[in-house]
Amino acid sequence: MDNLQLLAQWLKESTYTVVFTGAGMSTESGLPDFRSKTGLWKSKDPKKLASIEAMYQNPHEFYDFYRQRLATLGEAKPHKGHLILADWEKKRIIQAIITQNVDGLHHRAGSHRVIELHGTLRESLCLKCQKTYPSQILLTEGIPRCSCGNMLKPGVVLFGEMLPQEALRQADIETRRSHLFIVIGSSLEVSPANFFPLEAKEVGARLVLINLEPTEMDERADLLIRDKAGHVLEKIDGILKTLA
């Protein structure tokens, strides 16, 4: 039995399956990841562009960076892998998706139980009066401001910021329930998000890593699949249909 057949078998056997996605889940939709050789952080310094200090100290560069990300997001669409995960949720093959991605592609594919650990680019908010705006407001030139006059922050978790407590709480609940925990397209280099695969192992779940490159958690995995997310999900979906 090869790795894909084994994972299909484990999906059949599992009573509670959680999928954990990173930027590698969205590269086949045309969005760059961060740490592979073509990743965003290979050519840009995240501390200078994606931190709360950057927003106040060099706002023009900061907002230009998010305007660009928003523009590329506008052209991106969920790929086959996103659609398969949404279909698996409907068929109760998986129970939840915990994502580090802010692109909203899981929602647009039709997934409902999606926990966004790093927030979302779909909206921006005022840190003073907590008012939220659709992120299209970032597309206007200059520094986007709230009606109260304060600068608006993209709804994503910036370096130096705490993760949303409710998302962390929900991700913890789902991880503790998991019998099968499948990581797709993440280097697992960023904490506290990278804590969840370890927590899954602690509660006795089988840990599967689907990633094009090695990660620092490979030796903790019960199964490693070194291939593209969309291709793996399509193959497994085909196998599951023969096992149905």
Question: What are the residues binding ligand APR (CB under 6 A)?
Answer: 22-24, 27-28, 33-36, 39, 46, 100, 118, 185-187, 189-190, 211-213, 228-229
User: What are the start-end ranges of the H helices in 58-113?
Assistant: 59-75, 80-90, 105-109
Catalytic residue selected from 106, 118, 179, 231: 118
Q: Is 112 a catalytic residue?
A: no
| Sheet with strand 152-156: strands edge to edge | 132-134, 119-126, 152-156
Q: Is 92 left (phi over 0), alpha (psi -120 to 50) or beta?
A: left
Q: Which single residue brings its beta carbon nearest to ligand APR? A: 24
Q: What is the CA radius of gyration of the chain?
A: 18
Smallest separation, CB 210 to ligand APR (Å): 6
Give the residue with the Cβ less far from ligand APR, 24 or 144: 24
Neighbours of 129 (CB within 10 A): 11
Give the residue with the Cβ less far from ligand APR, 15 or 72: 72
* Distance (Å, whole) CA 52 – CA 59: 10
Neighbours of 97 (CB within 10 A): 28
Smallest separation, CB 181 to ligand APR (Å): 15
Give the residue with the Cβ less far from ligand APR, 39 or 110: 39
Give the residue with the Cβ less far from ligand APR, 112 or 226: 226
Q: Which amino acid is at 210?
A: I
Give the residue with the Cβ less far from ligand APR, 118 or 206: 118
CB neighbour burial string for 167-195, b if at least 16 within 10 angstroms, e if fewer? bbebbeebbebbbbbbbbbbbbebeebbe
Annotated catalytic sites, by residue?
A: 118
